[in-house]
Amino acid sequence: PLLLCVFFFSKSRNTGVFGDSAKETGIEADVWRFYLLYMRPESQDTTFSWDDFALKVNSELLANLGNFINRALSFLSNNFGGVVPEMHLNDTDLELLTGIQEDSIEWDHQMDSVHQKDAVRTVLAMSRRGNQYMQSQQPWVLIKGSDEDKKRAGTIIGVATNISYHLAIVLHPIMPEISARIRAQCGAEALPAFSACPMSYLKPGHKIGTPRPLFTKMENAKIQEWKAKFGGSAVANAEPQKKVKGVAICLN
């Protein structure tokens, strides 16, 4: 079961986050889906806390996944008019693409075997590869250089844009609304059949849509507000209850 520390969910005591109250937070459903799958208790109990929820959203969705996709699409829009340029792959590009293809094959196996927790983490590993690639290749420096440097920047951003679209595809079973948003920003809204090859989508000459941030930061003030609202007035003075199968609420 998913355990929220040592207190049971209780409507009467206002402890726990139920479906209606989850909606009241204003946090979109896909973000809840992400975290619940990320923390899914597949073989052992797991614990929910608001602090960890915010940490995972801010570090994995905002700083990792969202950051990579927004950087890639914004760079393409600002420097290439939103049009995927010609790409001439070198060994660095091929190494990245091989790694993402291997991750994608693993993701497919994980989804087939209903290891969704692992599948979520594999998607995040793909976007982490993309961020590391962008950081090491620095297309924002190359675009200011020689014609050859600019061509190289075009290849880098073409690769990154295709990876962004690939992430939308593997995200679809996990975060369908976010997946649709990414596909719209990539200018290719239809959901294609899964392919482990991340370069089989957006060809040179393809025009993307308008890049926009996918996620917003979870601020500490909101976390404290939710803790107070859903922690229950009686919980602070309650004795911890014996752990049994079920769900309980964490105060911190």
What distance in Å separates the CA atoms of residue 183 and residue 167, rounded to the nearest whole number?
A: 9
Write down the pLDDT at residue 80: 98
Q: Which two tokens stand for residue 140?
A: 């924002």
pLDDT tens profile 85-98: 999 999 999 999 99
pLDDT tens profile 123-135: 999 999 999 999 9
- Contact indicator for 226, 7 with CB cutoff of 8 Å: no
Report the pLDDT averaged over residues 164-187. Answer: 98
pLDDT tens profile 124-171: 999 999 999 999 999 999 999 999 999 999 999 999 999 999 999 999
The HSE-up count of residue 43 (CA atoms within 13 Å, CB side) is 5
Confidence of residue 243 (pLDDT cuts 50, 70, 90): very low
What distance in Å separates the CA atoms of residue 176 and residue 151, rounded to the nearest whole number?
A: 34
Residues above pLDDT 70, as percent of the chain: 81
Q: Which two tokens stand for residue 170?
A: 């593997």
Give the homologous superfamily in CATH for domain 50-230: Isoleucyl-tRNA Synthetase; Domain 1 (1.10.730.10)
Domain ranges of the chain: 50-230
Write down the pLDDT at residue 145: 98
Q: What are phi and psi of 162, to 5 degrees?
A: -65, -40
pTM: 0.86
